Every structure is written in C-alpha cells, then in structure tokens.
C-alpha cells in the first residue's frame, strides 16, 4: 500500500506545474491528464508485482477483474482540476477491500508532505502520528467542507440548497476540490463534518475508513452504514452527525 501511493506520488511531483496533456471525459470539467495515466500505471505496476491475482478498480482503467477476495480501489489523482491548474490540494488515494469491507486506506498529498494511513481496527495516522476527529458538538460551531457535482446542482434539497441553508446561518463551509483530502481532514479534526451528493468509490474508499478509524462516523444520507458504491456521503466527528444529517435531508 505504502509503496503504491508513493509510486503514484512520484508521478504527480514529476508532472506538477509542467507541460502535460489534458483531455475531458464525459461531462463538464471532467478532466483527465497525462499525469493521471502515469500515476495509475505506476500504482498498478507496484500492486501487480506482488499481487498479480488481486481485483483492481481504478478511476481511469476501470475494473481489472479476478476472483480474489481482495480489491484495490485506486484514484491516481483525486483533485485533478486542482492539479491541472497548479493548486497543491490533490493526492493519491488507495483503499483495499476484503470481502466487501475496507481494511486499509492510504491518502498521500506529496505537495504538503501529508501521508494519511488507516488500518481497520488499528486507528488512523498522519505521518506516523495517530489522529482523532474533533470534539465540536453542534453544527453552528462547526467548520464543514463539501464538494459540488457538476450535475443536478438545482435538484430539490440538492448541493446548492444545503450549502445555502448552512452559510446563511453563518456556518463556515469550505470547498477544497478533493473528497479524499476532505475526509482525511475530518479524520484529523481540521473539519468537523463533510457531505457530498455524488461520489465514486475511488473518491471515498480510503478516506471513509480514515474517518471511522479516527473515531468519526460515516453514513449515507439515510443514516445507513456507508458503502462507497452509492453516491451520497456524510462524514462527521460523530457528535454533530444527526444534526448535520437533518440539514442534508432537508429536515432543518
């Protein structure tokens, strides 16, 4: 895991603020860069050198299927728009799932020298120091973070409506552009909560384990146990979870 995130990060550092090809996948501002492909190739090479039979799900390649009970879930660059414009809030994110349960996660932002790592049942760490969620107990006193999808922004109780409700009450809500980093910063106690209406498995696989192992709570918008294979995510320190869930569900 550590070798894989570091191999991906080498490629991010190589291409950052340089000249590289940028193309657009389906949808608006759904970018993929030459660096995404290079980082993904480096990560998969490291994994397959030791575990050639493992299942791999990666953002650009898709599924490399096998019958293995172990699945690597890879985002070679989470925060590609940031990366492409020289904003150093981006990272490599890798989760390892066993029999449908996340057991390892690593998120590495080489530009801030921050390596987050979590193992199921053994806690979450930032650069070898154990981290814990915050202790804020009300939403009004919290600092939150979110992301906006480029589709269905104006749907009933959608991203803009929830955002508007919170900021009109004076609650600070940030948008960094990297869900994996958002989740890690909740785990580290920098943010008290994170919600997003549309994520893919590779966006959250490592980060949601980080929050849980740091003592926080992660659910979908119904309050059910979180699965990275559905789009909605709410991650908090646990103390504000039900109150923030009420905002997200349109009950407040």
Residue 163 belongs to domain with CATH number: 3.40.190.80
Query: Which residue range is the domain that position 158 belongs to?
Result: 139-248
**Domain shared by 170 and 105, yes or no:** no
Give the model's pLDDT for residue 33.
Answer: 83
Same domain, 27 and 146: no
- Say if residue 118 is in the same domain as residue 148: no
Q: Are residues 125 and 18 in the same domain?
A: yes
Radius of gyration over alpha carbons of the chain, in Å?
17
Q: In whole angstroms, what is the distance from residue 15 CA to residue 140 CA? A: 41
Helix runs in the chain, H state only? 2-15, 34-50, 80-84, 159-167, 179-187, 201-213, 241-248
Nearest to 120 by CA among 107, 134, 133, 101: 101
Write out the chain's pLDDT in tens, 252 residues.
Answer: 999 999 999 999 999 988 777 766 665 556 678 999 999 999 999 999 999 999 999 988 889 999 999 999 999 999 999 999 999 999 999 999 999 999 999 999 999 999 999 999 999 999 999 999 999 999 999 999 999 887 666 677 888 899 999 999 999 999 999 999 999 999 999 999 999 999 999 999 999 999 999 999 999 999 999 999 999 999 999 999 999 999 999 998
Query: For the purposes of burial, counting CB atoms within 10 Å of the CB of 224, is it exposed (0-12), middle (13-18) or buried (19 or more)?
Result: exposed
pLDDT value, residue 25: 62
pLDDT at 29: 57
- Between helices 34-50 and 2-15, what is the axis angle to 10°? 160
Final residue of a structural domain among 92, 110, 130: 130
Considering the domain architecture, whether residues 116 and 172 belong to the same structural domain is answered as no
For residue 18, with 0-12 CB atoms within 10 Å meaning exposed, 13-18 middle and 19 or more buried, which class applies? exposed
149 and 187 share a domain? Answer: yes
Residues 6+ apart with CB under 8 A from 51: 68, 70
Residue 92: per-residue pLDDT: 98
Contact 118, 148 (CB under 8 A): no
Please tell me the total count of domains within the chain: 2
pTM of the model: 0.94
Residues 118 and 146 occupy one common structural domain: no
Domain with 10 in it: what CATH number?
Answer: 3.30.540.10
Residues 155 and 109 in one domain: no
Q: Write out the two tokens for 10.
A: 């080498």
Spatial contact of 46 and 40, defined as CB atoms under 8 Å apart: no
Would you put residue 167 in left (φ > 0), alpha (ψ -120 to 50) or beta?
alpha
pLDDT number for residue 192: 98
Residue 148 and residue 96 share a domain: no
């Amino acid at each position: 895991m550590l070798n894989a995130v570091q191999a991906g990060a080498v490629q991010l550092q190589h291409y950052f603020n340089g000249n590289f090809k940028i193309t657009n996948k389906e949808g608006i501002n759904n970018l993929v860069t030459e660096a995404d492909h290079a980082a993904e190739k480096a990560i998969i090479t490291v994994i397959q050198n030791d575990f050639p039979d493992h299942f791999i799900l990666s953002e650009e390649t898709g599924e490399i299927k096998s019958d293995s009970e172990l699945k690597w879930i890879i985002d070679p660059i989470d925060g590609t728009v940031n990366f492409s414009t020289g904003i150093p809030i981006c990272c490599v994110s890798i989760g390892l799932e066993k029999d449908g349960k996340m057991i390892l996660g690593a998120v590495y932002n080489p530009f801030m020298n921050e390596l987050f790592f979590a193992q199921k049942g053994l806690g979450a760490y930032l650069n070898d120091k154990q981290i814990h969620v915050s202790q804020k107990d009300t939403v009004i006193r919290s600092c939150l973070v979110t992301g906006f999808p480029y589709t269905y922004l104006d749907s009933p109780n959608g991203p803009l409506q929830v955002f508007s409700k919170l900021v009109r009450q004076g609650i600070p809500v940030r948008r960094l552009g990297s869900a994996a980093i958002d989740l890690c910063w909740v785990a580290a106690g920098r943010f008290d909560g994170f919600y997003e209406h549309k994520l893919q498995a590779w966006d959250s696989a490592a980060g949601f384990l980080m929050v849980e192992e740091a003592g926080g709570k992660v659910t979908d918008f119904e309050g059910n146990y979180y699965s990275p294979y559905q789009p909605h995510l709410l991650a908090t320190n646990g103390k504000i979870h039900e109150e923030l869930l009420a905002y997200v569900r349109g009950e407040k």
